[in-house]
Protein backbone atom coordinates (compact mmCIF):
# COMPACT_ATOMS: atom_id res chain seq x y z
CA UNK A 1 0.00 0.00 0.00
CA UNK A 2 1.29 3.45 -0.86
CA UNK A 3 2.02 5.91 1.92
CA UNK A 4 3.26 9.47 1.96
CA UNK A 5 1.89 12.97 1.61
CA UNK A 6 -1.72 13.62 0.59
CA UNK A 7 -2.72 12.60 -2.89
CA UNK A 8 -2.07 15.98 -4.49
CA UNK A 9 0.61 18.62 -4.14
CA UNK A 10 0.26 22.39 -4.11
CA UNK A 11 -2.01 24.33 -6.43
CA UNK A 12 0.24 26.89 -8.10
CA UNK A 13 1.60 25.84 -11.48
CA UNK A 14 4.10 27.92 -13.44
CA UNK A 15 6.42 25.31 -14.96
CA UNK A 16 5.48 21.83 -16.23
CA UNK A 17 7.96 19.03 -16.87
CA UNK A 18 6.80 16.56 -19.51
CA UNK A 19 8.12 13.12 -18.59
CA UNK A 20 7.66 11.66 -22.05
CA UNK A 21 8.78 11.97 -25.65
CA UNK A 22 7.55 12.03 -29.24
CA UNK A 23 4.01 12.82 -30.32
CA UNK A 24 2.40 13.02 -26.86
CA UNK A 25 5.21 15.24 -25.55
CA UNK A 26 4.57 17.64 -28.46
CA UNK A 27 0.85 17.62 -27.68
CA UNK A 28 1.37 18.47 -24.00
CA UNK A 29 4.07 21.06 -24.60
CA UNK A 30 1.83 22.95 -27.02
CA UNK A 31 -0.98 22.91 -24.46
CA UNK A 32 1.41 24.34 -21.85
CA UNK A 33 2.39 27.16 -24.20
CA UNK A 34 -1.26 27.99 -24.88
CA UNK A 35 -1.91 28.01 -21.12
CA UNK A 36 0.93 30.50 -20.62
CA UNK A 37 3.09 28.01 -18.72
CA UNK A 38 6.82 27.41 -18.93
CA UNK A 39 7.75 23.87 -19.89
CA UNK A 40 10.68 21.52 -19.49
CA UNK A 41 11.32 18.60 -21.84
CA UNK A 42 13.64 15.76 -20.90
CA UNK A 43 15.24 13.72 -23.65
CA UNK A 44 17.51 10.74 -24.18
CA UNK A 45 20.63 11.08 -26.30
CA UNK A 46 18.98 9.46 -29.34
CA UNK A 47 16.17 12.05 -29.15
CA UNK A 48 18.48 15.06 -29.29
CA UNK A 49 17.13 17.53 -31.83
CA UNK A 50 13.69 15.89 -31.96
CA UNK A 51 10.64 18.03 -32.52
CA UNK A 52 9.45 17.87 -28.91
CA UNK A 53 12.73 19.21 -27.55
CA UNK A 54 12.27 22.36 -29.63
CA UNK A 55 8.74 23.01 -28.39
CA UNK A 56 9.74 23.28 -24.72
CA UNK A 57 10.91 26.39 -22.92
CA UNK A 58 13.88 24.31 -21.77
CA UNK A 59 15.14 20.91 -22.92
CA UNK A 60 17.33 18.92 -20.53
CA UNK A 61 19.26 15.78 -21.51
CA UNK A 62 18.83 12.55 -19.59
CA UNK A 63 22.02 10.69 -18.76
CA UNK A 64 22.04 7.08 -19.90
CA UNK A 65 21.56 4.91 -22.96
CA UNK A 66 18.63 2.59 -22.24
CA UNK A 67 15.00 3.45 -21.61
CA UNK A 68 15.42 2.26 -18.02
CA UNK A 69 18.28 4.72 -17.57
CA UNK A 70 16.41 7.62 -19.17
CA UNK A 71 12.63 7.86 -19.58
CA UNK A 72 11.96 5.34 -16.80
CA UNK A 73 14.53 6.81 -14.43
CA UNK A 74 12.34 8.34 -11.74
CA UNK A 75 15.19 9.66 -9.62
CA UNK A 76 16.86 11.47 -12.51
CA UNK A 77 13.60 13.04 -13.68
CA UNK A 78 12.83 14.30 -10.18
CA UNK A 79 16.35 15.73 -9.89
CA UNK A 80 15.85 17.66 -13.12
CA UNK A 81 12.47 18.88 -11.87
CA UNK A 82 14.05 20.19 -8.67
CA UNK A 83 16.92 21.87 -10.53
CA UNK A 84 14.55 23.75 -12.86
CA UNK A 85 11.89 24.89 -10.38
CA UNK A 86 9.23 22.62 -11.83
CA UNK A 87 5.77 22.92 -10.25
CA UNK A 88 4.07 20.01 -12.02
CA UNK A 89 4.88 16.86 -13.96
CA UNK A 90 2.77 15.49 -16.80
CA UNK A 91 3.56 11.84 -17.64
CA UNK A 92 1.66 11.58 -20.97
CA UNK A 93 0.91 7.95 -21.81
CA UNK A 94 3.20 4.93 -21.58
CA UNK A 95 6.50 5.05 -19.68
CA UNK A 96 5.75 6.26 -16.11
CA UNK A 97 2.16 7.40 -16.69
CA UNK A 98 0.52 4.58 -14.75
CA UNK A 99 3.21 4.02 -12.14
CA UNK A 100 1.66 4.72 -8.75
CA UNK A 101 5.09 4.81 -7.10
CA UNK A 102 6.24 7.57 -9.45
CA UNK A 103 3.08 9.58 -8.85
CA UNK A 104 3.66 9.27 -5.11
CA UNK A 105 7.33 10.26 -5.46
CA UNK A 106 6.31 13.38 -7.40
CA UNK A 107 3.81 14.34 -4.70
CA UNK A 108 6.31 13.61 -1.90
CA UNK A 109 8.71 15.99 -3.64
CA UNK A 110 6.10 18.76 -3.33
CA UNK A 111 5.33 18.79 -7.05
CA UNK A 112 1.88 18.67 -8.64
CA UNK A 113 1.09 15.34 -10.28
CA UNK A 114 -0.99 15.89 -13.42
CA UNK A 115 -3.08 12.77 -13.12
CA UNK A 116 -5.18 10.80 -10.66
CA UNK A 117 -4.08 9.87 -7.15
CA UNK A 118 -1.51 7.12 -6.67
CA UNK A 119 -4.19 5.05 -4.95
CA UNK A 120 -6.50 5.31 -7.95
CA UNK A 121 -3.65 4.30 -10.27
CA UNK A 122 -2.80 1.39 -8.01
CA UNK A 123 -6.38 0.13 -7.80
CA UNK A 124 -7.15 0.41 -11.49
CA UNK A 125 -3.69 -0.71 -12.66
CA UNK A 126 -4.18 -4.15 -11.17
CA UNK A 127 -6.87 -5.72 -13.32
CA UNK A 128 -8.06 -8.19 -10.69
CA UNK A 129 -8.35 -5.46 -8.08
CA UNK A 130 -10.15 -3.30 -10.63
CA UNK A 131 -12.66 -6.10 -11.30
CA UNK A 132 -13.41 -6.45 -7.61
CA UNK A 133 -13.70 -2.67 -7.19
CA UNK A 134 -16.14 -2.45 -10.11
CA UNK A 135 -18.23 -5.33 -8.76
CA UNK A 136 -18.54 -3.52 -5.44
CA UNK A 137 -19.51 -0.29 -7.24
CA UNK A 138 -22.26 -2.02 -9.23
CA UNK A 139 -20.50 -1.72 -12.59
CA UNK A 140 -21.08 -4.83 -14.76
CA UNK A 141 -17.95 -6.93 -15.33
CA UNK A 142 -17.22 -9.72 -17.82
CA UNK A 143 -18.09 -13.15 -16.40
CA UNK A 144 -14.87 -14.65 -15.09
CA UNK A 145 -12.84 -15.56 -12.03
CA UNK A 146 -10.11 -13.74 -10.12
CA UNK A 147 -7.21 -16.03 -9.21
CA UNK A 148 -5.34 -15.11 -6.03
CA UNK A 149 -2.47 -17.61 -6.15
CA UNK A 150 0.89 -16.81 -7.78
CA UNK A 151 2.12 -20.42 -7.56
CA UNK A 152 2.00 -21.90 -11.04
CA UNK A 153 0.58 -25.31 -10.15
CA UNK A 154 -2.08 -23.85 -7.86
CA UNK A 155 -2.94 -21.24 -10.49
CA UNK A 156 -3.36 -23.91 -13.16
CA UNK A 157 -5.62 -25.95 -10.89
CA UNK A 158 -7.81 -22.96 -9.99
CA UNK A 159 -8.12 -21.72 -13.58
CA UNK A 160 -8.97 -25.20 -14.87
CA UNK A 161 -11.73 -25.41 -12.27
CA UNK A 162 -12.95 -21.85 -13.03
CA UNK A 163 -12.98 -22.54 -16.78
CA UNK A 164 -15.79 -25.05 -16.29
CA UNK A 165 -17.97 -22.27 -14.88
CA UNK A 166 -16.77 -19.50 -17.22
CA UNK A 167 -17.08 -21.57 -20.40
CA UNK A 168 -15.16 -21.59 -23.68
CA UNK A 169 -13.84 -19.72 -25.51
CA UNK A 170 -12.09 -17.93 -22.68
CA UNK A 171 -9.38 -15.32 -22.29
CA UNK A 172 -6.44 -15.46 -19.90
CA UNK A 173 -5.22 -12.06 -18.71
CA UNK A 174 -2.20 -10.89 -16.76
CA UNK A 175 -3.33 -8.95 -13.70
CA UNK A 176 -0.75 -6.23 -14.37
CA UNK A 177 -1.08 -6.51 -18.14
CA UNK A 178 -1.37 -3.98 -20.92
CA UNK A 179 -0.80 -3.70 -24.65
CA UNK A 180 -1.89 -7.28 -25.23
CA UNK A 181 0.98 -8.76 -23.18
CA UNK A 182 0.16 -11.69 -20.93
CA UNK A 183 -3.06 -12.47 -22.82
CA UNK A 184 -4.04 -15.80 -24.34
CA UNK A 185 -7.21 -16.86 -26.14
CA UNK A 186 -8.18 -20.46 -25.35
CA UNK A 187 -10.83 -22.31 -27.37
CA UNK A 188 -10.06 -25.89 -26.37
CA UNK A 189 -9.57 -27.26 -22.82
CA UNK A 190 -6.57 -29.24 -24.11
CA UNK A 191 -4.76 -25.93 -24.76
CA UNK A 192 -5.44 -24.42 -21.35
CA UNK A 193 -2.44 -25.56 -19.30
CA UNK A 194 0.13 -24.48 -21.91
CA UNK A 195 -1.71 -21.18 -22.38
CA UNK A 196 -1.61 -20.47 -18.63
CA UNK A 197 2.12 -21.15 -18.51
CA UNK A 198 2.71 -18.96 -21.55
CA UNK A 199 0.62 -16.05 -20.24
CA UNK A 200 2.29 -16.28 -16.82
CA UNK A 201 5.78 -16.40 -18.34
CA UNK A 202 5.08 -13.38 -20.55
CA UNK A 203 3.54 -11.47 -17.64
CA UNK A 204 6.59 -12.05 -15.45
CA UNK A 205 8.90 -10.87 -18.24
CA UNK A 206 6.84 -7.77 -19.08
CA UNK A 207 5.55 -6.70 -15.66
CA UNK A 208 7.41 -8.68 -13.00
CA UNK A 209 4.02 -10.05 -11.90
CA UNK A 210 2.96 -13.56 -12.86
CA UNK A 211 -0.65 -13.41 -11.66
CA UNK A 212 -3.14 -14.45 -14.32
CA UNK A 213 -6.95 -14.59 -14.19
CA UNK A 214 -9.66 -15.79 -16.53
CA UNK A 215 -12.63 -14.18 -18.31
CA UNK A 216 -15.14 -15.39 -20.86
CA UNK A 217 -14.10 -14.39 -24.37
CA UNK A 218 -16.97 -12.36 -25.75
CA UNK A 219 -16.85 -12.88 -29.50
CA UNK A 220 -18.46 -10.40 -31.84
CA UNK A 221 -18.21 -7.61 -29.26
CA UNK A 222 -17.30 -4.00 -29.78
CA UNK A 223 -14.61 -2.21 -27.80
CA UNK A 224 -16.22 1.04 -26.66
CA UNK A 225 -14.64 3.39 -24.16
CA UNK A 226 -15.99 6.38 -22.26
CA UNK A 227 -13.91 9.50 -21.62
CA UNK A 228 -14.31 10.74 -18.04
CA UNK A 229 -13.16 13.96 -16.43
CA UNK A 230 -13.18 14.76 -12.71
CA UNK A 231 -11.98 17.83 -10.84
CA UNK A 232 -11.09 18.49 -7.21
CA UNK A 233 -14.40 20.25 -6.61
CA UNK A 234 -16.40 17.02 -6.61
CA UNK A 235 -17.58 17.10 -10.21
CA UNK A 236 -17.24 13.99 -12.39
CA UNK A 237 -18.60 13.89 -15.96
CA UNK A 238 -18.28 11.83 -19.10
CA UNK A 239 -17.57 13.21 -22.56
CA UNK A 240 -19.13 10.52 -24.66
CA UNK A 241 -17.68 7.42 -26.21
CA UNK A 242 -15.00 6.25 -28.61
CA UNK A 243 -15.35 3.15 -30.77
CA UNK A 244 -12.00 1.31 -30.77
CA UNK A 245 -12.89 -2.17 -32.03
CA UNK A 246 -10.47 -2.41 -34.97
CA UNK A 247 -7.29 -3.80 -33.42
CA UNK A 248 -4.25 -5.85 -34.26
CA UNK A 249 -2.48 -7.78 -31.51
CA UNK A 250 -4.91 -6.19 -29.02
CA UNK A 251 -3.70 -2.71 -30.03
CA UNK A 252 -6.01 -0.18 -31.66
CA UNK A 253 -5.45 1.09 -35.18
CA UNK A 254 -8.78 2.77 -36.10
CA UNK A 255 -10.86 4.82 -33.65
CA UNK A 256 -13.90 7.01 -34.02
CA UNK A 257 -16.43 9.08 -32.13
CA UNK A 258 -19.32 8.72 -31.78
CA UNK A 259 -19.76 4.94 -31.91
CA UNK A 260 -21.78 4.08 -35.06
CA UNK A 261 -24.31 1.89 -33.18
CA UNK A 262 -24.70 4.12 -30.13
CA UNK A 263 -28.14 5.27 -29.03
CA UNK A 264 -28.92 8.07 -26.60
CA UNK A 265 -30.16 5.57 -24.04
CA UNK A 266 -27.11 3.30 -24.31
CA UNK A 267 -24.76 6.30 -24.12
CA UNK A 268 -26.52 7.46 -20.97
CA UNK A 269 -26.21 4.02 -19.33
CA UNK A 270 -22.57 3.50 -20.30
CA UNK A 271 -21.70 7.07 -19.31
CA UNK A 272 -23.33 6.60 -15.92
CA UNK A 273 -21.39 3.35 -15.38
CA UNK A 274 -18.13 5.08 -16.32
CA UNK A 275 -18.81 7.91 -13.87
CA UNK A 276 -19.59 5.33 -11.15
CA UNK A 277 -16.29 3.59 -11.92
CA UNK A 278 -14.34 6.84 -11.59
CA UNK A 279 -16.10 7.84 -8.38
CA UNK A 280 -15.43 4.40 -6.88
CA UNK A 281 -11.71 5.25 -6.75
CA UNK A 282 -12.11 9.01 -6.06
CA UNK A 283 -10.73 9.73 -9.50
CA UNK A 284 -9.34 13.17 -10.40
CA UNK A 285 -8.28 14.26 -13.89
CA UNK A 286 -8.80 12.71 -17.33
CA UNK A 287 -9.33 8.97 -17.61
CA UNK A 288 -10.94 6.35 -19.79
CA UNK A 289 -13.25 3.53 -18.77
CA UNK A 290 -13.23 0.75 -21.36
CA UNK A 291 -16.14 -1.59 -22.01
CA UNK A 292 -16.98 -4.53 -24.23
CA UNK A 293 -20.34 -3.95 -25.91
CA UNK A 294 -22.18 -7.14 -26.90
CA UNK A 295 -24.45 -7.31 -29.93
CA UNK A 296 -27.52 -7.51 -27.65
CA UNK A 297 -26.69 -4.16 -26.03
CA UNK A 298 -25.16 -5.55 -22.84
CA UNK A 299 -21.86 -3.98 -21.83
CA UNK A 300 -19.14 -5.05 -19.43
CA UNK A 301 -16.25 -3.27 -17.72
CA UNK A 302 -12.92 -4.11 -19.30
CA UNK A 303 -10.40 -1.81 -17.62
CA UNK A 304 -9.71 1.81 -16.74
CA UNK A 305 -6.78 3.74 -18.17
CA UNK A 306 -5.65 6.29 -15.60
CA UNK A 307 -4.04 8.66 -18.10
CA UNK A 308 -4.65 10.52 -21.33
CA UNK A 309 -5.40 8.07 -24.16
CA UNK A 310 -3.68 7.84 -27.54
CA UNK A 311 -7.07 8.26 -29.20
CA UNK A 312 -8.18 11.31 -27.18
CA UNK A 313 -8.23 13.62 -30.27
CA UNK A 314 -11.47 12.16 -31.65
CA UNK A 315 -13.26 13.15 -28.45
CA UNK A 316 -11.76 16.62 -28.69
CA UNK A 317 -12.89 16.97 -32.29
CA UNK A 318 -16.56 16.17 -31.62
CA UNK A 319 -16.91 17.90 -28.22
CA UNK A 320 -14.64 20.92 -28.63
CA UNK A 321 -12.97 20.14 -25.28
CA UNK A 322 -9.17 20.37 -25.03
CA UNK A 323 -8.54 17.43 -22.72
CA UNK A 324 -4.89 18.22 -22.01
CA UNK A 325 -5.76 21.83 -21.17
CA UNK A 326 -8.41 20.48 -18.79
CA UNK A 327 -5.78 18.27 -17.17
CA UNK A 328 -3.63 21.31 -16.52
CA UNK A 329 -6.59 23.28 -15.18
CA UNK A 330 -7.69 20.47 -12.85
CA UNK A 331 -4.16 19.87 -11.54
CA UNK A 332 -3.96 23.55 -10.62
CA UNK A 333 -7.09 23.18 -8.50
CA UNK A 334 -9.43 24.98 -10.87
CA UNK A 335 -12.86 23.60 -11.73
CA UNK A 336 -13.15 22.00 -15.15
CA UNK A 337 -14.48 24.31 -17.84
CA UNK A 338 -16.73 21.73 -19.56
CA UNK A 339 -20.44 22.23 -19.72
CA UNK A 340 -23.19 19.86 -20.82
CA UNK A 341 -22.09 17.15 -23.27
CA UNK A 342 -22.65 18.14 -26.88
CA UNK A 343 -21.47 15.90 -29.71
CA UNK A 344 -21.09 17.56 -33.09
CA UNK A 345 -20.32 15.67 -36.27
CA UNK A 346 -18.05 12.65 -36.54
CA UNK A 347 -14.31 12.11 -36.07
CA UNK A 348 -12.03 9.24 -37.09
CA UNK A 349 -8.42 8.58 -36.10
CA UNK A 350 -5.96 6.12 -37.62
CA UNK A 351 -2.53 5.33 -36.26
CA UNK A 352 0.27 5.57 -38.77
CA UNK A 353 2.98 3.06 -37.88
CA UNK A 354 6.38 2.26 -39.28
CA UNK A 355 5.50 -1.39 -39.68
CA UNK A 356 5.04 -4.03 -42.35
CA UNK A 357 1.34 -4.86 -42.39
CA UNK A 358 2.01 -7.65 -44.89
CA UNK A 359 4.40 -9.34 -42.44
CA UNK A 360 2.26 -9.63 -39.32
CA UNK A 361 2.64 -5.88 -38.64
CA UNK A 362 6.29 -6.20 -37.67
CA UNK A 363 7.98 -2.87 -36.82
CA UNK A 364 10.16 -1.26 -39.47
CA UNK A 365 13.11 1.11 -39.35
CA UNK A 366 14.67 3.57 -41.74
CA UNK A 367 14.91 7.26 -42.58
CA UNK A 368 11.89 9.46 -43.16
CA UNK A 369 13.36 10.64 -46.43
CA UNK A 370 9.98 12.07 -47.39
CA UNK A 371 7.22 12.81 -44.86
CA UNK A 372 4.43 14.85 -46.40
CA UNK A 373 1.14 14.80 -44.49
CA UNK A 374 -2.18 15.75 -46.06
CA UNK A 375 -3.88 19.06 -45.39
CA UNK A 376 -7.22 20.72 -45.88
CA UNK A 377 -10.44 21.26 -43.92
CA UNK A 378 -11.15 18.94 -41.02
CA UNK A 379 -7.70 17.30 -40.93
CA UNK A 380 -5.48 17.14 -37.85
CA UNK A 381 -2.10 15.45 -37.51
CA UNK A 382 -0.58 14.67 -34.11
CA UNK A 383 3.04 13.66 -34.61
CA UNK A 384 6.48 13.93 -33.11
CA UNK A 385 8.44 13.29 -36.30
CA UNK A 386 9.27 15.24 -39.43
CA UNK A 387 11.03 14.76 -42.72
CA UNK A 388 14.66 13.78 -42.21
CA UNK A 389 14.13 11.96 -38.90
CA UNK A 390 15.27 8.37 -38.46
CA UNK A 391 12.89 5.59 -37.35
CA UNK A 392 14.82 3.35 -34.94
CA UNK A 393 13.94 0.19 -33.01
CA UNK A 394 14.38 2.03 -29.71
CA UNK A 395 10.77 3.17 -29.28
CA UNK A 396 7.19 2.41 -30.28
CA UNK A 397 6.93 2.57 -34.10
CA UNK A 398 3.92 4.93 -34.18
CA UNK A 399 4.82 7.86 -36.42
CA UNK A 400 1.63 9.90 -36.23
CA UNK A 401 -2.07 9.98 -35.58
CA UNK A 402 -4.14 11.16 -38.52
CA UNK A 403 -7.49 12.58 -37.38
CA UNK A 404 -10.35 13.86 -39.48
CA UNK A 405 -13.65 15.56 -38.66
CA UNK A 406 -16.74 15.98 -40.83
CA UNK A 407 -20.45 16.65 -40.29
CA UNK A 408 -21.36 12.97 -40.82
CA UNK A 409 -19.69 9.57 -40.58
CA UNK A 410 -19.83 8.96 -44.33
CA UNK A 411 -18.19 12.31 -44.98
CA UNK A 412 -15.56 11.60 -42.31
CA UNK A 413 -14.72 8.26 -43.95
CA UNK A 414 -14.42 9.90 -47.34
CA UNK A 415 -12.19 12.61 -45.87
CA UNK A 416 -9.99 9.96 -44.26
CA UNK A 417 -9.68 8.15 -47.60
CA UNK A 418 -8.63 11.37 -49.29
CA UNK A 419 -6.16 12.18 -46.51
CA UNK A 420 -4.54 8.74 -46.70
CA UNK A 421 -4.35 9.00 -50.48
CA UNK A 422 -2.40 12.25 -50.09
CA UNK A 423 -0.10 11.06 -47.26
CA UNK A 424 3.40 10.51 -48.68
CA UNK A 425 6.01 8.66 -46.64
CA UNK A 426 9.26 7.43 -48.17
CA UNK A 427 12.27 5.70 -46.65
CA UNK A 428 10.62 3.21 -44.33
CA UNK A 429 7.75 0.75 -44.54
CA UNK A 430 4.43 2.04 -43.18
CA UNK A 431 0.87 0.81 -42.77
CA UNK A 432 -0.70 3.59 -44.87
CA UNK A 433 -1.86 1.27 -47.65
CA UNK A 434 -3.39 -1.11 -45.10
CA UNK A 435 -5.24 1.76 -43.42
CA UNK A 436 -6.53 2.94 -46.78
CA UNK A 437 -7.87 -0.52 -47.61
CA UNK A 438 -9.39 -0.74 -44.13
CA UNK A 439 -11.48 2.36 -44.89
CA UNK A 440 -13.18 0.45 -47.72
CA UNK A 441 -13.94 -2.71 -45.78
CA UNK A 442 -17.64 -3.54 -45.69
CA UNK A 443 -17.78 -3.83 -41.88
CA UNK A 444 -15.96 -0.53 -41.42
CA UNK A 445 -18.20 1.29 -43.90
CA UNK A 446 -21.33 -0.07 -42.20
CA UNK A 447 -19.98 0.57 -38.68
CA UNK A 448 -20.49 -3.10 -37.76
CA UNK A 449 -16.93 -3.68 -36.61
CA UNK A 450 -15.85 -5.87 -33.72
CA UNK A 451 -12.57 -6.76 -32.03
CA UNK A 452 -11.95 -9.75 -34.33
CA UNK A 453 -12.37 -7.88 -37.63
CA UNK A 454 -8.75 -7.95 -38.83
CA UNK A 455 -8.33 -11.63 -37.99
CA UNK A 456 -11.62 -12.47 -39.69
CA UNK A 457 -11.14 -10.40 -42.86
CA UNK A 458 -7.48 -11.39 -43.29
CA UNK A 459 -7.14 -14.82 -41.60
CA UNK A 460 -3.89 -15.51 -43.43
CA UNK A 461 -2.54 -12.00 -42.97
CA UNK A 462 -3.03 -8.88 -45.05
CA UNK A 463 -1.32 -8.60 -48.44
CA UNK A 464 -1.36 -5.59 -50.80
CA UNK A 465 -3.16 -5.88 -54.11
CA UNK A 466 -0.65 -5.09 -56.87
CA UNK A 467 -2.52 -4.14 -60.03
CA UNK A 468 -0.85 -3.29 -63.31
CA UNK A 469 -1.70 0.40 -62.97
CA UNK A 470 -0.38 0.35 -59.43
CA UNK A 471 2.90 -1.12 -60.63
CA UNK A 472 3.17 1.57 -63.31
CA UNK A 473 2.68 4.19 -60.65
CA UNK A 474 5.35 2.50 -58.52
CA UNK A 475 7.75 2.72 -61.44
CA UNK A 476 7.12 6.46 -61.64
CA UNK A 477 7.65 6.87 -57.91
CA UNK A 478 10.84 4.82 -58.04
CA UNK A 479 12.16 6.93 -60.90
CA UNK A 480 11.37 10.17 -59.10
CA UNK A 481 12.91 8.85 -55.90
CA UNK A 482 16.02 7.65 -57.70
CA UNK A 483 16.55 11.14 -59.03
CA UNK A 484 16.48 12.33 -55.44
CA UNK A 485 19.34 9.97 -54.60
CA UNK A 486 17.26 7.20 -53.00
CA UNK A 487 17.63 3.46 -53.56
CA UNK A 488 15.42 2.34 -56.45
CA UNK A 489 15.70 -1.38 -55.81
CA UNK A 490 14.57 -1.01 -52.20
CA UNK A 491 11.63 1.16 -53.27
CA UNK A 492 10.45 -1.45 -55.71
CA UNK A 493 10.31 -4.19 -53.09
CA UNK A 494 8.87 -2.50 -50.03
CA UNK A 495 5.51 -1.30 -48.84
CA UNK A 496 6.94 2.23 -48.68
CA UNK A 497 6.56 2.37 -52.46
CA UNK A 498 2.92 1.36 -52.19
CA UNK A 499 2.35 4.10 -49.65
CA UNK A 500 3.37 6.58 -52.32
CA UNK A 501 1.11 5.23 -55.02
CA UNK A 502 -1.99 7.29 -54.31
CA UNK A 503 -0.66 10.67 -55.50
CA UNK A 504 0.17 9.02 -58.83
CA UNK A 505 -3.01 7.00 -59.27
CA UNK A 506 -4.67 9.58 -61.50
CA UNK A 507 -1.65 9.51 -63.81
CA UNK A 508 -1.56 5.71 -63.92
CA UNK A 509 -5.29 5.46 -64.64
CA UNK A 510 -5.06 8.07 -67.37
CA UNK A 511 -2.18 6.23 -69.03
CA UNK A 512 -2.85 2.52 -68.31
Which residues participate in catalysis according to the annotation?
307
Alpha carbon distance 189, 175 (integer Å)? 21
What does the radius of gyration of the chain's CA atoms come to, in whole angstroms?
23
Alpha carbon distance 82, 73 (integer Å)? 15
Q: For 474, phi and psi rounded to 5 degrees?
A: -60, -35
Q: What sign does the CA torsion over 466, 467, 473, 479 have?
A: positive
**85 DSSP 8-state letter:** T
Neighbour tally for 136: CB within 10 Å: 9
| Residue of 360, 231, 354, 345 whose CA lies nearest to 285 | 231
DSSP string, 268-296: HHHHHHHHHHHHHTT--EEEEEEEEE-TT
Neighbour tally for 1: CB within 10 Å: 4
For 119, 294, 322, 426, the CA distances from 336, given in Å and listed in that order, are: 22, 33, 11, 42
Alpha carbon distance 281, 278 (integer Å)? 6
By CB neighbour count within 10 A (0-12 exposed, 13-18 middle, 19+ buried), where does 479 fall? exposed
Q: Coil, helix or strand for 455? A: helix
CB 489 within 8 A of CB 430: no
Alpha carbon distance 142, 214 (integer Å)? 10
DSSP E strand boundaries for 316-394: 346-353, 355-356, 362-363, 366-367, 370-372, 379-383, 390-391
| Residue of 114, 109, 103 whose CA lies nearest to 29 | 114
Alpha carbon distance 272, 135 (integer Å)? 15
E strand or H helix at 301, and its extent?
strand 299-305
Q: Which residues contact 405 (CB under 8 A, 6 or more apart)?
A: 317, 318, 345, 346, 347, 378, 380, 412, 415
Amino acid sequence: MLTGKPDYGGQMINTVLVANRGEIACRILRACTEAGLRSVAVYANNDAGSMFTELASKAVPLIGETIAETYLNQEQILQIAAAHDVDAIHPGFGFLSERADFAQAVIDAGINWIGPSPRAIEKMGDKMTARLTMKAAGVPVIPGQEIASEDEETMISEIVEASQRVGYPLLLKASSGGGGKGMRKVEDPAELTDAIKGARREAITAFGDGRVYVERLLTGSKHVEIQVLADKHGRTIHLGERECSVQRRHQKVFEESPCPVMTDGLRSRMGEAAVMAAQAVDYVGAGTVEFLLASNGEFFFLEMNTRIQVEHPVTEMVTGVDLVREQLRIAAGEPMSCGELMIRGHSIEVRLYAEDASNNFLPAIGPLAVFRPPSGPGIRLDTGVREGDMVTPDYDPMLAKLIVWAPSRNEALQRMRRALDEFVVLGTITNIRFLRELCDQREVVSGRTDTMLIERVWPDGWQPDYSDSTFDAALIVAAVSESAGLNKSRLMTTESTNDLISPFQTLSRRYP
